[in-house]
Chains A and B, each alone.
Chain A
């Protein structure tokens, strides 16, 4: 029943994207491909943060793993596109097992710190082992539209289809996972670990599993990024990327897959739009260069003030839809805090 509903929604979305891709300009196609990358990465992260109550500031590093896996597999083994995506996802998932096993022992700021370390350290491996990873300039990935579509078929439209299609499949899978027994168990662990453990749930395994899912999504997103930008280089996977992913998840609405879409739209479209405004108003170059960054910050602040539960939460409130109790925003934010202080419970009682 839920599966049918999710697939139905995905088919509607696919039709909308198809119409957009054929009617808008090539650059818009390119942006669709760009947004799809962020949707996949943020959807994985929002499941981790919103459902399982863990945080990761290092998903940019998993994107790097997926992206480099794609480039290396294509370069050395000549694998086709349809094999690169699952392979890169799997490789990032394996990395997620390793990190997740360590991460499951950490909570709150310690977990954030450990994953941040990953985001900082991992990209510099590319320059340390430049023989394998191509150093600063990275590796190239080549992609062509299938010959069956004709010679004149725009490559950007093909990339938009590939990336958007992949993103929709991921969203359907994640939506079902969230509604499954695993998803419910994650929420139980998030809301009260002790109670979940008493109820017979294997807390550590569930936490690691959430980490793997999020790493796999990030790896797939990295692979999509490598394909649509036809290159991989360490400059693309800085700490800023990892922070941007968390930003997108928070802005969109933690734990909500629709929120992942809103977050991606903000991350991709706001800076481009603001740059266009800034340059078209003839501002001095030093000012114009920094305006997108300032405006982006202002948008973030505005969204957080107007929609403390993220855009999806705001939409739900606006249209009078009550969020499903289990994924309610307040429990979610509390869950991030809850682990660390047993004292907080006491405080709540005393006040």
Chain B
């Protein structure tokens, strides 16, 4: 009868005992470490680091509205960590990656991050996903001096080293992305009427900010927004864009809304040139959504046909570019450790971010403290799988600084022209990147 009442008590006791044991374990090993800190044996140099293991944590939308697609990212990152563990680890330590589900709910994120930092004692938070979610956790992480590295969001808000010294962005931020797309549009669609279709939050607004830095004001004839997850009828927006006579539509939207936009345009007989942020254009995800949505509406469409000729940008090698050494490496890791997931842009993203983390940890030293990791990234990271260099310095916590323009052909992204780099300021020029991309190391380890 009182079974359900009992369930809780052992849970608390067990958890308390586990915490006590962890605390005792840390205390024991750190006692012996003080004599040999930097050279010699691996020691428990920081919370979450033991002689044999590095424990890191993350919050991810494994369920809920943001789960489709994004839930693949953390398992993919973990696949790369397993590869590293199987090839000697980081200075002999194995990475243990604990990612908790926050369902894209910011208060759940706060509670997840407290659990990871206060109870599980993670060394760092890695690749926490989402702008509203991670914003809820960022001040706690910084006041607790926990490294908060490579946030999985392109919000420019992670680049605030004076306020958030522990926090680092990773992917191309939306302002830079907007500038790169804007410069391309200015050059290739001069004199054409431009319409915007964007998500009305940090993501879309930052993107539009970047676009407006480059595209002449008079050329933009209509600005339409949507708010997820409620605005599923984009008919009014599409009709307004059509009425404005826009010949080119620039979209800063997530995949589901690019699909809605495309299908609604089809229905209303509106066929502008579509230029879209890479956030919403992974060809496999977008093609799948188009087919699924059309099926729901009782129609049959070919996803690849509808994504044909969409112009977008990308800051990693294209997934379909099998000749690229990075794609070959990440495909191999994926096939060994994460074969159940499709090898798409989300998986590539997770593995590439994990690679950057391993780079940073290698640099942080044999027995790193939390500050060592932050200092290592502040001193700059080698380029790795990204097509453009990182911005990291003690005064700049933005990540990848450039991307190339690509066109979707037959369900795969095809690079057009050079890689462009820029900064996040209104006046900084968008220039072709002259440095070379690096090849993946043969060992697959940084």
Contacts and interface: CB of A to CB of B under 8 A. Distances in A.
A317 B5 CA distance: 13
Contacts, number: 134
A238 B201 contact: no
Contacts of B3: 306
B71 to A, nearest CB: 7
A156 B111 CA distance: 12
Contact of A306 (B4, B15, B101): B4
Specify which of B2, B78, B104 lies most central, judged by the most chain A CB atoms within 10 Å of its CB. Answer: B2
Nearest to A140: B139
A136 B11 contact: no
A275 B114 contact: no
Contacts of A137: 131-132, 135, 201-202
A211 to B, nearest CB: 25
B101 to A, nearest CB: 5
Nearest to A318: B1
Contact of B16 (A24, A124, A130): A24
A65 B3 CA distance: 38
B4 A34 contact: no
A4 to B, nearest CB: 28
A225 interface: yes
A273 B114 contact: no
Contact of A25 (B7, B63, B119, B227): B119
Nearest to B228: A136
A24 B23 CA distance: 12
A136 B62 contact: no
A289 B101 CA distance: 7
Contacts of A236: 105-108
A197 B1 CA distance: 41
A314 B63 contact: no
A230 B119 contact: no
Contacts of A311: 4-5
Contact of A279 (B67, B71, B98): B98
Interface string B64-104: 00010001001100100000000000000000001011001
A233 B2 contact: no
Given A130-B200, A273-B11, A275-B101, A233 B132 contact: yes
A124 B139 contact: no
B114 A233 contact: no
B8 interface: yes
A128 B139 CA distance: 26
Contacts of A289: 62-63, 67, 71, 101
A135 interface: yes
Given A140-B139, A269-B11, A273-B11, A286 B71 contact: yes
A334 interface: no
A109 B119 CA distance: 43
A28 interface: yes
A307 B101 contact: no
Contacts of A127: 200-201, 227
B162 interface: no
A27 B132 contact: no
5 contacts: A27-B119, A138-B136, A302-B4, A307-B4, A317-B1
Q: Which 7 A-B pairs have the closest CB atoms?
A: A289-B62, A27-B119, A27-B118, A236-B107, A26-B118, A229-B110, A136-B201
Interface of B: 1-5, 7-8, 11-12, 15-16, 19, 62-63, 67, 71, 74-75, 78, 98, 100-101, 104-108, 110-111, 114-115, 118-119, 131-133, 135-136, 139-140, 200-202, 227, 230, 340
Given A27-B119, A273-B11, A318-B1, 13 more contacts: A25-B16, A127-B200, A127-B227, A136-B132, A138-B136, A140-B135, A230-B110, A231-B106, A231-B107, A286-B62, A286-B71, A286-B75, A314-B5
